[in-house]
Amino acid sequence: MGKVLLADDHELVRETIAAYLRQAGRHEVVPAASLPEAVRAMEAESFDLILLDYRMPGMESLDGLRDMAARHPGLPIALISGAASPEVARQAIALGAVGFLPKTLAPDDLMRAVETMIAGSVFVPKDVMAGLAHNLTPREIEVVRGIAGGKSNKEIARDLGVQEVTVKLHVKTLSRKLDARNRTHAAMRARDLGLV
């Protein structure tokens, strides 16, 4: 059983993730609503893993991760995020984070991720890894998922609330990044990479 510090300023997110981890009966979870609160908890007791929200009061983007890593070298720290890009995930891992967890992760995947990180391995979801490998932006991933779903550029533009010309630019850029000949080939490459 591991002891996890969960720092997130959204009460519902904090309670939901804590409930998942406690439900399995394998983890003790200590919640914190801000970075200062998390720092106080870390000074008071020891943890096997820190789950740190990417954006919350008391920290700007990756500063909280840098600060925690400097204060507690060797302690596994992972970022949790609602909408950070593969680039942010890459930077977090480069700064020494042991994981990057989207808040949309299914409960079973969340449990596996926490256990992987407590055991000393790095966890990054497959779609984020594939995006990282090809430097696709979250918007490009949304566009290629639309293409894979059989949607036209016009339909994708409507779904994303952007102009059709913007979608065409994304298709061109992501096709280049995926080394694809056309939009259909890009969708096939994205499927092979586990992005869709």
Distance CA 48, CA 45 (A): 10
Contacts 24+ apart (CB under 8 A), 113-119: 113/78, 114/2, 114/4, 114/21, 114/27, 114/49, 114/51, 115/2, 115/26, 117/49, 117/76, 117/78, 118/2, 118/4, 118/48, 118/49, 118/76
Structure tokens at 141: 């991933």
- Residue 139 is predicted with a pLDDT of 84
- pLDDT by residue, tens only, the chain of 196 residues: 789 999 999 899 899 999 988 887 778 999 999 988 998 999 999 999 999 998 877 676 688 888 888 888 888 999 998 766 777 887 888 788 888 998 888 888 888 899 989 988 888 887 777 776 677 777 888 899 899 999 999 999 999 999 999 999 999 999 988 889 999 999 988 877 777 7
- Residue 89 is predicted with a pLDDT of 82
Q: In this structure, what DSSP letter does residue 26 have? A: S
Structure tokens at 133: 């490998």
What domains are there in the chain, each with its CATH number?
A: 2-124 (3.40.50.2300), 131-192 (1.10.10.10)
Residue 5 CB neighbours (<10 A) = 24
Determine whether 49 is exposed, middle or buried from the number of CB atoms within 10 Å of its CB (0-12, 13-18, 19+).
buried
Nearest CA to 89 out of 98, 14, 115 is that of 98
**8 Å CB contact between 54 and 61:** yes
